[in-house]
A and B are shown apart, each in its own frame.
Chain A
Amino acid sequence: MGWFKRLKEGITTSTKEKKETPEGLWYKCPSCKKIHTAADHANNKYVCQECGYHERIGSKEYFEIIFDNNQFTELHENLVSGDPLDFSDTKKYTDRLTDTIKKTGLKDALRSAYGTVNGQDLVVCCMDFNFIGGSMGSVVGEKIARSIDFCLKTKSPLLVISKSGGARMMEAAFSLMQMAKTSAKLSQLAQAGIPYISLLTDPTTGGVTASYAMLGDLNIAEPGSLIGFAGPRVVKETIGKDLPKGFQTAEFVLEHGFLDKIVPRTELKLQLGNLLRMLKS
């Protein structure tokens, strides 16, 4: 929210005010170090115009990129997580939730909405990495499950955008069972012949990879994304040597046969629209 406000104000404000908020005006690519105006960067879907580096973005930006005229209806937006295990590590889980909700303005690590993409109906479930590392807890699973019910009822195709470090430790086995829950619900979508597209973005690992992220009728990914089951550090420890260059990148996963396609974010909407049109019964 804050980012966009700053951005829009930045375009119209005077030079004096601009100087006061330089971070809202410029984007420095962490990959090639080139500097772009924030407005140009946003227009290019947060992809570096120089080197193609895809900045990590959240559900707000993805909805704006995907839905026609940024118009959509959010589903189940007021679901928040319980604390079934009364979990506490360095911080109580309930406090962590409250703090994260306040800090991010999000209720949990996934938002769901329906709208149209180049005129085609679509339900989009999009993960937010800002929310406890995009970890999959009960709310993530429940929103996907309810969104699938919505798709079954309305015969709408489903897109899930994954961006997650995996399970949410603080929900332990409840988190684990979200893998079972989402996969079981996806089996119902498959039985009904409703298309499911999975978009894997940076990063998609752990239990998310081992459930809905890999179960698309079409699995597509953003370039350069880290995609894997075990994290690279764990794999490195297992094999006891350095990992080969490019290991667990989207390009690596495509090469090994687990992705249908890598789609740059700048072409995402166009390609989604085309695919949805072709899949229509």
Chain B
Amino acid sequence: MTYLDFEKPIQDLEGELVKLKEVSSKSKVDLADKIKELEQHIADKTKELYENLSAWQRVQVSRHPERPYTLAYIDHVSNKTFIELHGDRTVADDKAMVGGFGELDGQTVMFIGQQKGINTKMRQIRRFGMANPEGYRKALRLMKLAEKFNKPIITFIDTPGAYPGLEAEERGQGEAIARNLLEMAQLKVPVICIIIGEGASGGALGIGIGDRVLMLENSWYSVISPENCSTILWRTWAQKEKAAEALKLTAADMSKNGLVDGVIPEPLGGAHRNHTEIFETVKQVIKKHLAELGKISPQERINQRIEKFSAMGVVHDMDA
């Protein structure tokens, strides 16, 4: 288990717990009550810490190395029926973006998402979840495929941004993202987007135009990362905590501001502490929303989707 800096109190207590269990097993002294008491104490402490996380601490949780990534969610939600489909049919197969069909309790669904690597080698290959234009174009190809066969689309968003490389620019990163925004607005099938970790900028939005846009409790979503925001506004990385607060990037703030449709609660102490629980929660949330969206006609869904995004923004009309 990797502990974040602010989790020090939990780390210490869990260290004590390990020792206590060791003593208990070696000495045959019955410490069951003491262990139970300490476990309760750890749970209370975790609850206390996690209920009062600052925006920056949530950003840290969203990047926790043991936090589950897209393919892990897809595997569980589809009960391992997922068939990954590759390539944009033009340039390449982008490993930072994955997608394919799977069955959700018998219903065929198109799953798409940014994928971060699970080890050093894979992190390089998947470019830390930063897609190239062909990643966005693969995503669009798969969305069109889903639309053709009338299958709903689920996207999992987890990216520090679109890849800012030389070839990405040559191959039209801006155009690729823009095209997805326009095309997703008109998709005839239900679209559910879930921010499971990091939702940075246009790179996240590029697969984020949905009938429902939901955020996990400890994910973040904004126009820029707190570090880059700090660099631009204060000319230093040091103000990242302040920037995280100012950006109002947490699930709670994004929901309060009407920029996402809901927050998915995580297990106590974050999704990384209980994968099975978060997978199951996400699965049930998807099922609930798919059932609701299935009752609306395709044109009405498109209208509502466009109206929802059109209503975002705060302007004052001085004529009024």
What is A's interface to B at a CB cutoff of 8 Å? 76, 78-85, 87-90, 107, 137-139, 141-142, 145, 167, 169, 171-181, 183-188, 190-191, 206-207, 209-215, 228-230, 234-235, 238-239, 243-244, 247-248, 256-258
Specify the chain A residue showing the minimal Cβ separation from B203. A210
Interface centre among A169, A211, A256 (most CB of B within 10 A): A169
Contact status A183-B178, CB under 8 Å: yes
Q: By the criterion CB–CB under 8 Å, are B249 and A187 in contact?
A: no
Chain A contact residues: over half helix, strand or loop, or mixed? helix
A-B pairs with beta carbons under 8 Å apart, 19 shown:
A79-B318, A80-B315, A80-B318, A89-B246, A167-B223, A171-B314, A173-B249, A173-B257, A173-B259, A184-B185, A184-B305, A186-B182, A210-B181, A211-B177, A211-B178, A215-B178, A229-B202, A247-B166, A256-B170
Among B76-84, B106-114, B227-235, the stretch in contact with A: B227-235
Q: Assuming the A-B contacts A177-B313, A187-B186, A214-B178, are A85 and B224 also in contact, with contact meaning beta carbons closer than 8 angstroms in the complex? A: no
Find residues 170-199 in chain B having any chain A CB closer than 8 Å to their own CB: 170-175, 177-179, 181-183, 185-186
Contact yes or no, A169 B165, CB < 8 A: no
Task: Report yes or no: B249 in contact with A172, Cβ–Cβ below 8 A.
Answer: yes
- Chain A nearest CB from B253 CB (Å) reads 9
| Chain B residues, Cβ within 8 Å of A188 | 306
Pick the most buried of B162, B171, B221, B222: most chain A CB atoms within 10 A of its CB.
B222
Q: Which residues of A contact B248 (CB under 8 A)?
A: 85, 172-173
B209 / chain A contacts, CB cutoff of 8 Å? 180, 183-184
A207–B173 alpha-carbon span in the complex (Å): 11
CB-nearest residue of chain A relative to B165? A238
Instruction: Contact check, B175 vs A258: say whether CB atoms are below 8 A apart.
Output: yes
Does B169 interact with chain A (Cβ within 8 Å)? yes
**Interface membership of B26, Cβ < 8 A:** no
Asked if B315 and A79 sit within 8 Å, CB to CB, the answer is: yes
Residues of chain A contacted by B237 (CB below 8 angstroms)? none
Whether B317 sits at the interface, judged by CB under 8 Å, is: yes
Q: Do the beta carbons of A178 and B313 come within 8 Å of each other?
A: yes
Most B Cβ at <10 Å: residue of A80, A183, A211, A213: A183
| B316 interface residue per 8 A CB criterion | yes
**Partner among A90, A181, A257 whose Cβ is within 8 Å of the Cβ of B172:** A257
Interface residue? B208 (CB, 8 A): yes
- Kindly list chain B residues whose C-beta atoms are within 8 Å of the C-beta of A180: 181, 185, 205, 208-209, 309, 312
**Do A183 and B164 have beta carbons less than 8 Å apart?**
no
Complex CA gap A215/B174 in Å reads 10
**Pairwise interchain contact B174-A88, C-beta atoms closer than 8 A:** no
Nearest Cβ on chain B to A264's Cβ, whole angstroms? 23
Which of A89, A142, A234, A244 makes the CB contact (< 8 A) with B315? A142
Q: Please list the 6 inter-chain residue pairs (A to B) with the smallest Cβ-Cβ separation, ordered nearest first.
A: A138-B313, A230-B164, A209-B174, A82-B314, A183-B181, A184-B185
Chain A nearest Cβ from B164, distance in angstroms = 3
A80, A229, A238: the one within 8 Å of B174 (CB): A229
Is the Cβ of A210 less than 8 Å from the Cβ of B178? yes
Closest to A233 in B: B164
Q: Which residues of B contact A191 (CB under 8 A)?
A: 186
Q: Which residues of B contact A82 (CB under 8 A)?
A: 314-316
Q: How far is the CB of B261 from chain A (nearest CB, A)?
A: 13
Residues of A within 8 A of B166 (CB): 235, 238-239, 243-244, 247
Contact B247 A172 (CB under 8 A): yes
User: B201 on the interface (CB 8 Å rule)?
Assistant: yes
Q: Does B20 contact A (CB under 8 A)?
A: no
Output the residue of A167, A172, A175, A211 with the most chain B CB within 10 A: A172
The answer to whether the Cβ of B168 comes within 8 Å of any Cβ in the partner chain is yes
Additional pairs, 18, CB under 8 Å, beyond known A169-B233, A215-B182: A80-B318, A81-B314, A81-B315, A84-B257, A138-B315, A167-B224, A169-B224, A171-B223, A174-B314, A178-B312, A183-B185, A185-B310, A210-B181, A229-B177, A229-B202, A235-B166, A238-B163, A247-B169
Among residues of B, the one whose C-beta sits closest to the C-beta of A206 is B202
B254 within 8 A of A: yes
| A-side contacts of B223, CB under 8 Å | 167, 169, 171-173, 175-176, 207
- Could you say which residues of chain B place their CB within 8 Å of the CB of A172? 222-224, 246-249
Complex contacts, B172 vs chain A, CB 8 Å: 214, 256-258
| A87-B246, A90-B234, A239-B165 known; A190+B182 contact, CB < 8 A | yes
Contact of A173 with B232 in the complex, beta carbons under 8 Å: no
Residue of A nearest to B248 (CB): A85
Residues of chain B with a CB closer than 8 A to A80's CB: 315-316, 318
